[in-house]
Amino acid sequence: MMVDIRLLVDSKNHLGEGPLWDVEEQRLYWIDSSASEIWSAREDGSDVKLYYVPTHIGSMALRETGGAVLALANGFSLYDFRSQRLTHIGDPEADEPENRLNDGKVDRRGRFIAGYMSYDHDRLDAGRGQRPVRNSALYRLDPDLSITRLESGIKCSNGPCWSPDDRTFYFCDSYDDIMYAYDYDIETGSLSNRRDFASNRQYPGTFDGSTVDAEGYIWNAHVFGGRIIRYAPDGSIDREIEFPVRNLTSVMFGGKDLDILYVTSMGRPIKGVPQREAHAGGVFAVHGLGVKGLPEPRFGG
């Protein structure tokens, strides 16, 4: 099978993340987390639009009633695209100033699931044998705007997504080199029975953003590793796609037939060293995969 990787938008994002295809608008959205920007474009990369937010952004979802819900450095907020104004909802980790919300997605009951990460990646807990501090958590924002903690002991939340039957929730802590699977109760939005699903220890880099295709296979962007990997529902590796840039961040199926895999990337210097790849920080479109994704739900609030 011939796979065609195309540069969609040479956006030169500092930290491109969170590709989101909206079937209603037929547009692709994505964010630049550290530049505090929301981008959007048509399927072919034309008609690029840019919006601004006042603080770092970890993820977003469109709302059924218009606008978006955002996972920001200071918690959850609603966003109006026309005025570019925020309505703050709440920050469940306001007492942890080094933490910010990171990756998030909406389940098929309209709930927004997003987790925190620590800005201080290298901070160690002297009271726990100098292990990295894991004081972040995963939260559920319900359509009534209530916030519920689902999981704790996290350092960097990434890759939330669901199986097509809504019975399994996949999630990564990027510092564990493990993708986890949970039993998911779609009626209540609760998690149980966490287990190891896949390991990344045999590859350079680590797990970042994920999506699930219509066949129930999980696609993950390996940040610092320069590849996209498709995992079977049993956790085995089904396919690998090497990329022309190394620092991939997230993936999402889109296009009118949901058969294009959109991929975001990171353009910022790594440990002070500029990246040499010409299109680092760009958004890519992968054609010819022979599989389709699922429509991304909107937030119900």
Residues with catalytic roles: 208
CB 284 within 8 A of CB 243: yes
User: Are the C-beta atoms of residues 281 and 12 closer than 8 Å to each other?
Assistant: yes
Q: Name the token pair of 290.
A: 């022979």
Q: Furthest-apart CA pair in the chain: how many Å? A: 53
Cα gap 274→99, rounded to integer Å: 26
Are the beta carbons of 244 and 279 closer than 8 angstroms?
yes
Assigned token pair, 194: 């966490």
Distance, in Å, from the CA atom of 75 to the CA atom of 72, rounded to the nearest integer, reads 5
For 102, 162, 221, the CA distances from 200, given in Å and listed in that order, are 20, 20, 11
Instruction: Report the 10 Å Cβ neighbour count for 25.
Output: 11
- Could you tell me which of 164, 103, 180, 158 has the C-alpha nearest to residue 293? 164
| Contact (Cβ atoms closer than 8 angstroms) between residue 93 and residue 99 | yes
